[in-house]
């Protein structure tokens, strides 16, 4: 607009700085947008130089566009449920897959150790929990991150050969991702539970729930997940802490096929009761879906898009497209939130689980504006806080999802494509909605809240990108 046009008016002002000016202007009836500005972080010269170089590189911008396109045109379909050692390539005897970046037995947190012990007994590699502990400590067990095998798991995230896993295929690219079935709340293996009741439930899931759901899905020809997510978003889910709408939609979608493949009515009732009683059942489906969406971006050379956010209760790890399976890790942070009766901050386990894969594709904390009640865990809570958080995530992502919209933001798409450069430039790390586990194994969830990915992961990743993308 020319100076002459400006002088002709009317003025439309963007105010950056002292809010009093915006108030005066608004009071005089002038159209004004007041920016909630905060100073950019003070970066070391090394980081600043790396950032400047990557921001100025048109090759990186082009690669990021390609990565964003891959995320956007994904077509995830829930195909089947199969035994882990049939579905997950490379998973064999005496192997335990876990959530988060690589970690060995001595550094594992309480719940993860409890879960490992339980899994060893479940698979028959030891006869009781005490000898299971010895075995875990002996070096005879190979531990590896779920992500390295195309899989994800919530909280402790343990996957071993006999456990059933859901299979999601991204039809746009042909890749697959896997996740266990959600066990329910309370004393379960994902919170480190390992007693007889936990193992009995897992055996029932392996013998009954898993195969039955698998048969129903095959009978149904699979279940397209993107439209289901879109509906859930409109109903107040964000697919991390809130999955009740999607769980309900899932039961509605698979119900007829279930009824057609299950002959024993008691069995059918038990399955429906089990799934229906668990508000969070859909979480595991959302996680496998998110991994199937994110993985195709891994091959885009020269991209700075984040392809995974993950924690093991000790370390937080991220992957960046273009740098493949290289982990950038830092100590996890403690979630901040609210607690169930009888529990408090002193009981909380540090941040844990592969579930942050949903934030990686724009859901969870990124979609907070779709689920404003969840913002109650942070600060002032309420609609304003929820909007503020999603808007903050817009600042660190490349664009918005064309398929997943937030009604409360006039149908703006969820923030999609976390760019390491933007995270470092803004000094704002991704925000994750999370459950809070008890630090003692086997007690279960004690609260819920929010946690940030550590900025240190993104600093390390940025420097690596700058060094590699010359």
Partner 1 sequence: MTWTPFNRVRRGAYFDSVALMRAAARIEAMPGIAAASLMMGADANKAMLRDAGLLNHEGETAGPNDLIVAVTADTARHAEAACDAGEAELAGSRPTSRSRARSLSGAVEDLPGANLALISVPGVYAAAQARAALARGLHVMVFSDNVSFADERALKELARGSGLLLMGPDCGTALIAGVALGFANEVRRGDIGIIAASGTGLQEVACLVDRLGHGISHGIGVGGRDLSAKIGGLATFAAFDALERDAATRHIVIVSKPPAPEVARALFARLATCAKTVTVCILGARTLDIPAGVRAAHTLAEAAAMACGIAETKKIAAGPAAPARQSGRRFVRGLFAGGTLAAEAQLVLLDAGLAVASNAPAPGAVHGAIGTAGHLVLDLGAGEFTIGRPHPMIAPAMRNALIAAALADPAVSVVLIDLVIGHGAHEDPAGIVAGLGPFPMDGPAVIASVTGTDRDPQNRARQGAILRAANVTVADSNSAASALAAARIVAAR
Q: Which residues bind partner 1 (CB under 8 A)?
A: 1-18, 20-21, 24-25, 28, 30-37, 39-40, 185-186, 338-342, 373-374, 376-377, 381-384, 387-388, 391-392, 394-395, 447-448
Q: Let me know the angle formed at the C-alpha of 205 by 201 and 209, rounded to the nearest 5 degrees.
A: 135
**To the nearest whole angstrom, how small is the minimum distance from the Cβ of residue 12 to partner 1?**
5
Q: State the minimum distance, in angstroms, from the CB of residue 346 to partner 1.
A: 14
Q: Closest distance between partner 1 and the C-beta of residue 314, in Å?
A: 27
Closest separation in Å from C-beta 427 to partner 1: 12
Backbone angles phi, psi at 437, to 5 degrees: -90, 155
Nearer to partner 1 by Cβ, of 40 and 256: the residue is 40
- Find the shortest distance in angstroms from Cβ 57 to partner 1: 18
CA distance 109 to 470: 39
Nearer to partner 1, 255 or 382 (CB): 382
| Choice between 18 and 467, CB closer to partner 1 | 18
CA-wise closest residue to 129 among 139, 142, 116 = 116
DSSP category for residue 422: H
Q: How far is the CB of 393 from partner 1 (least distance, A)?
A: 10
In the numeric block, the tokens 């396109």 are attached to: 69
- 4 versus 196: smaller Cβ distance to partner 1: 4
Find the shortest distance in angstroms from Cβ 442 to partner 1: 15
CA dihedral (389, 391, 392, 396) positive or negative: positive
Q: Which is nearer to partner 1, 64 or 170 (CB)?
A: 64
Measured from the CB atom, is 326 or 439 closer to partner 1?
Answer: 439
Q: Cis before residue 334, ω within 30 degrees of 0?
A: no
Q: Which residues contact 258 (CB under 8 A, 6 or more apart)?
A: 212, 213, 216, 268, 271, 272
Using the 8-state DSSP alphabet, how is residue 421 labeled? H
Least CB distance from residue 355 to partner 1, whole Å? 18
Mode of pairing for the β-strands spanning 12-16 and 31-35: parallel
450 SS3 class: strand
What whole-number distance in Å separates Cα of residue 60 and Cα of residue 74?
21
| CB 343 to partner 1: min, Å | 8
- What is residue 461's three-state secondary structure? helix
Q: Which is nearer to partner 1, 21 or 105 (CB)?
A: 21
Task: Judge contact between 426 and 415, C-beta under 8 A.
Answer: no
CB atoms within 10 A of CB 131: 14
Whether residue 283 contacts residue 355, with contact meaning beta carbons closer than 8 Å, is answered with yes
CB of 373 to partner 1, least distance (A): 4
Identify the CA nearest to 165 among candidates 78, 84, 93: 84
CB 294, min distance to partner 1, A: 25
* Nearer residue to partner 1 within complex by CB, 89 or 344: 344
Closest to partner 1 by CB, 312 or 371: 371
Of residues 253 and 373, the one with the C-beta less far from partner 1: 373
Judged by CB, which is closer to partner 1: 264, or 395?
395
In our burial notation (b when 16+ CB lie closer than 10 A, e otherwise), range 286-320 reads bbbbbbbbbbbbbbbebbbbbbbbbbbbbbbbbbb
DSSP string, 42-95: ---HHHHHHHHHHHT-HHHHHHHHHHHHHHHT--EEEEEEEEHHHHSTT--TTE
């Amino acid at each position: 607009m020319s100076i002459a046009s400006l002088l002709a008016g009317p003025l439309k002002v963007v105010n950056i700085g002292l809010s009093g000016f915006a108030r005066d202007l608004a009071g005089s009836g002038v159209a004004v947008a007041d920016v909630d500005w905060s100073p950019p972080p003070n970066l070391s010269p090394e980081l600043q130089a790396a950032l400047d170089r990557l921001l100025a590189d048109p090759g990186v911008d082009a690669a990021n566009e390609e990565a964003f396109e891959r995320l956007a045109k994904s077509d995830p379909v829930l195909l089947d449920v199969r035994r882990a050692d049939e579905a997950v390539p490379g998973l064999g005897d005496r192997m335990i897959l876990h959530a988060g970046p690589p970690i060995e037995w001595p550094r594992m947190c309480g719940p993860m150790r409890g879960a490992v012990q339980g899994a060893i007994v479940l698979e028959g590699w030891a006869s009781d929990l005490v000898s299971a502990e010895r075995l875990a400590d002996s070096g005879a067990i190979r531990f590896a991150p779920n992500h390295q095998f195309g899989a994800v798991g919530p909280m402790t995230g343990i996957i071993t050969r006999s456990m059933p896993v859901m299979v999601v295929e991204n039809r746009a690219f042909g890749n697959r991702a896997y996740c266990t079935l959600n066990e329910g709340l309370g004393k379960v293996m994902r919170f480190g539970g390992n007693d007889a009741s936990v193992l009995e439930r897992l055996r029932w899931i392996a013998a009954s729930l898993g195969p039955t759901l698998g048969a129903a899905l095959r009978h149904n020809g699979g279940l397209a997940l993107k439209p289901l997510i879109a509906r859930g978003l409109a109903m107040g889910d964000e697919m991390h802490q809130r999955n009740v709408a999607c769980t309900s939609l899932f039961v509605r979608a698979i119900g007829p096929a279930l009824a057609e493949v299950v002959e024993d009515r008691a069995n059918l009732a038990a399955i429906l009761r089990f799934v229906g009683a668990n508000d969070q059942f859909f979480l595991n489906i959302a996680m496998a879906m998110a991994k199937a969406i994110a993985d195709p971006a891994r091959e885009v050379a020269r991209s700075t898009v984040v392809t995974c956010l993950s924690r093991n209760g000790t370390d937080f790890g991220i992957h960046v497209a273009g740098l493949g399976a290289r982990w950038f890790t830092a100590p996890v942070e403690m979630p901040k939130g609210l607690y169930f009766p009888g529990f408090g901050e002193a009981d909380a386990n540090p941040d844990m689980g592969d579930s942050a894969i949903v934030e990686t594709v724009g859901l969870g904390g990124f979609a907070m504006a779709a689920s404003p009640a969840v913002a109650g865990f942070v600060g002032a809570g309420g609609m304003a806080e929820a909007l503020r958080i999603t808007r903050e995530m817009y600042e660190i992502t490349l664009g918005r999802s064309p398929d997943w919209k937030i009604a409360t933001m006039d149908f703006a798409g969820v923030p999609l494509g976390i760019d390491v450069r933007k995270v470092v430039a803004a000094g704002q790390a991704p925000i994750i909605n999370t459950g809070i586990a008890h630090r003692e194994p086997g007690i279960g969830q004690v609260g819920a809240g929010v946690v940030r990915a550590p900025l240190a992961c993104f600093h390390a990743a940025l420097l690596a990108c700058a060094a590699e993308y010359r």
